[in-house]
Chains A and B, each alone.
Chain A
């Protein structure tokens, strides 16, 4: 089991968790993700790792309440545990000195982009970071972005905080003013990533996007997360999650991500009607797992202490 050591509310509906996961913390590289499951009837969902501390044996994830599992997860507090966390999964981000890089992130995508941004900065890149959020209360991790980038820009769709506009406006503005950008990483909602890809494609700027397709096992076994990249089938869990933006078929991604929409709505509605009941199930599952783990050592057996 994976203990929650601390939590922090980052914005409305977005929470950060520090979780005990020594194995994952030792192997992690920027760009990788975990799959987690909260209780014995729970689904498996992928979440990008925001940071690790190998010495403390912890990983950090940031969670936006979207569906049932993320809503449920965001009710958990220090002292609770996550039943299952597996990773680090997926290929690490490509890190090298491209020159000037632009990181474009939407809301919780900011958290996902931070580790790769840090690594790109360390590799000697000049880092432009453009974070976009719908409103002021959805802006996350502003201090961190300012600390790790050379040129931070924070925008809100409605202008309720700092600059008003979309991340793509800022990107276009920079490009139109003659700024040379050598590499772009876009992490966030699909329409945003697609819009970024459209802009950079015509200008020949290499762009990578991090795809959030629906996954089950995360090891390549089920193929549910397949995406169409350059007209070839790729599995986001093992071949990605990052892909060359100009090769990605976003229509197929949108279509496949809509596959369980009705079921997702039903799950969420049922959950919101009685969140305490599910929270109790989560805690019960963890307690049972704890008992099982304790019972596993047989007195007098070959590995008794």
Chain B
């Protein structure tokens, strides 16, 4: 493999990790513009010099879609940024997205050898740099498309799993149509992740790229309601279907007072702001709770919770607080999000759980009754279980409470596709290697199979599904490890 790094390894390891420029915290927490500003080419080259080009690149193995990290870094060193972007695109159709939202510390950068002694290589920042460079240049390195196979694939959901699968399958020459329930394409990238973390123009651009590759899109179709899987296959002639509908229904705490005005699911709060642009009301029609001079709490500590709390701050909240029943060490959010949140003035109240919401006479939330917790023995997840401390209840003032404690399976497709086997939580069962379900010709992946996870894990599933769909369409052989639905339901 070529090596464009002029420095010996020793010298490379002396260079410190380059810091991504970002907008000042006390400015950015008043608007929705992107927080991170991205590397310029000087910074990118300097950072790329740190790569020691391991013979066995663990970074690549830790990537759910297997991006050839070492090779794209080398292309950066050669000054061939478009080549670097094209190299990433071989494995990842959404580099500008993943460069921004992947939990790199747990994946590529988590595997980076440099991280053992110092700071790992800023692979995410570099990926973002080349992807943005490519978009700005307008010279998109779109992959070649194989001649038409005459096969048709329907993809249900235009989130990261669906888009990845579509991007891979279109290259194989299949006809691909993506169905989306909402009016805008992108799934969680559009309704879930805020503008300040992932500008919607980036998502739109990536979707335009896929259109250029020939992927068809149809919005306003709720598969399971507007059309069923069986109708897609029997009446509309699809040879295979990939179900990637995402996680679905928001979970609430099931404590008294959750119907008060001012209690939201994170899904609703974020959807109003991100998909419907409520933060620009009245220029946009959809309203959202007026956070100005209000006390806001967000219950939970994942990326969704961070997105919600930082959104409320930007909407003018007097105080914006994360309330979490464990401690900071157990928080599942990306490190960068927690860091950014703290810089922006978010308060973190740990070892605390609301047990009741209390409203005024008109039904508007005013306080949360909270309980202090302590950590007990580890539970099934390996994390120490929070245990309530007796007599520790106290009242916390809050006008808006956003519940971000996860989601459960949306049953729309499963309930109209009886031969699609589900597990006891109603998620669709799919083989972890082939993404094949119990139903011939039907594949599934992403959060509808695993429950709430990350963008890149969903993309990994989309990638495996595409390979498996292609194999099925070219061989006609259907084999799956998932038993038929009847057996599962009656067992």
A89, closest chain B residue (CB): B225
Asked if A217 lies at the interface with its beta carbon under 8 angstroms from chain B, I say yes
The residue that A252 contacts in the complex, of B145, B214, B259, B275, with Cβ under 8 A, is B259
Q: Is the CB of B272 within 8 A of A216?
A: yes
Q: Is the CB of A221 within 8 A of B252?
A: no
Q: Is the CB of A83 within 8 A of B217?
A: no
Assuming A217-B182, A256-B259, is B226 touching A27 (CB within 8 A)?
A: yes
Asked if A182 lies at the interface with its beta carbon under 8 angstroms from chain B, I say no
The residue that B282 contacts in the complex, of A220, A233, A238, A263, with Cβ under 8 A, is A263
B408 to chain A, nearest CB (A): 10
Residues of chain B within 8 A (CB-CB) of A219 are 181, 222, 225, 410, 412
Which of chain A's residues 100-147 have a Cβ closer than 8 Å to chain B? none
Q: Is the CB of B261 within 8 A of A258?
A: yes
Residues of chain B within 8 A (CB-CB) of A301 are 145, 213-214
Assuming A23-B226, A217-B182, A263-B281, is B170 touching A228 (CB within 8 A)?
A: no
The residue that B222 contacts in the complex, of A69, A89, A251, A266, with Cβ under 8 A, is A89
A264 to chain B, nearest CB (A): 7
The residue that B267 contacts in the complex, of A23, A44, A69, A221, with Cβ under 8 A, is A221
A188 to chain B, nearest CB (A): 22
B268, closest chain A residue (CB): A222
Interface of B is mostly: loop
Q: Is the CB of B287 within 8 A of A303?
A: no
Asked if A42 lies at the interface with its beta carbon under 8 angstroms from chain B, I say yes
Asked if B168 lies at the interface with its beta carbon under 8 angstroms from chain A, I say no
Q: Is the CB of A86 within 8 A of B226?
A: yes
A42, closest chain B residue (CB): B285
| Distance, CA A69 to CA B287, complexed state (A) | 13
Assuming A43-B286, A86-B181, A223-B249, is B175 touching A302 (CB within 8 A)?
A: yes
Asked if B219 lies at the interface with its beta carbon under 8 angstroms from chain A, I say yes
Residues of chain B within 8 A (CB-CB) of A220 are 248-249, 410, 412
A227, closest chain B residue (CB): B259
Asked if B216 lies at the interface with its beta carbon under 8 angstroms from chain A, I say yes
Asked if B134 lies at the interface with its beta carbon under 8 angstroms from chain A, I say no
Q: Is the CB of B284 within 8 A of A41?
A: yes
| Distance, CA A264 to CA B278, complexed state (A) | 13
| Distance, CA A125 to CA B363, complexed state (A) | 41
Asked if A49 lies at the interface with its beta carbon under 8 angstroms from chain B, I say no
The residue that B287 contacts in the complex, of A233, A252, A260, with Cβ under 8 A, is A260
Assuming A296-B211, A303-B216, is B271 touching A222 (CB within 8 A)?
A: yes
Chain B residues with a Cβ closer than 8 Å to the other chain, count: 57
Residues of chain A within 8 A (CB-CB) of B261 are 255-256, 258-259
Asked if B314 lies at the interface with its beta carbon under 8 angstroms from chain A, I say no
Q: Is the CB of B220 within 8 A of A84?
A: yes
| Distance, CA A255 to CA B257, complexed state (A) | 13
The residue that A85 contacts in the complex, of B211, B220, B249, B272, with Cβ under 8 A, is B220
Q: Is the CB of A27 within 8 A of B286?
A: no
| Distance, CA A85 to CA B219, complexed state (A) | 9
Q: Is the CB of B183 within 8 A of A84?
A: yes
The 0/1 profile, CB within 8 Å of B marked 1, for residues 251-292 of chain A is: 110011011101110110010000000000000000000000
Asked if A37 lies at the interface with its beta carbon under 8 angstroms from chain B, I say yes
Assuming A86-B221, A222-B250, A296-B217, is B282 touching A302 (CB within 8 A)?
A: no
A40 to chain B, nearest CB (A): 9
Which of chain A's residues 180-217 have a Cβ closer than 8 Å to chain B? 216-217
Assuming A220-B248, A221-B250, A302-B145, is B264 touching A83 (CB within 8 A)?
A: no
Asked if B258 lies at the interface with its beta carbon under 8 angstroms from chain A, I say yes
Which of chain A's residues 35-87 have a Cβ closer than 8 Å to chain B? 37, 41-44, 68-69, 83-87
A39, closest chain B residue (CB): B285
Sorted nearest first, the 3 A-B pairs with minimum C-beta distance are A263-B287, A301-B214, A255-B363
A selection of 11 A-B contacts at a CB cut-off of 8 Å is A86-B226, A216-B272, A217-B181, A218-B222, A220-B410, A222-B267, A224-B264, A252-B259, A296-B216, A298-B213, A302-B175
- Which residues of A are at the interface with B, using a C-beta cutoff of 8 A? 23-24, 27, 37, 41-44, 68-69, 83-89, 216-224, 226, 228, 233, 235, 238, 249, 251-252, 255-256, 258-260, 262-264, 266-267, 270, 295-298, 301-303
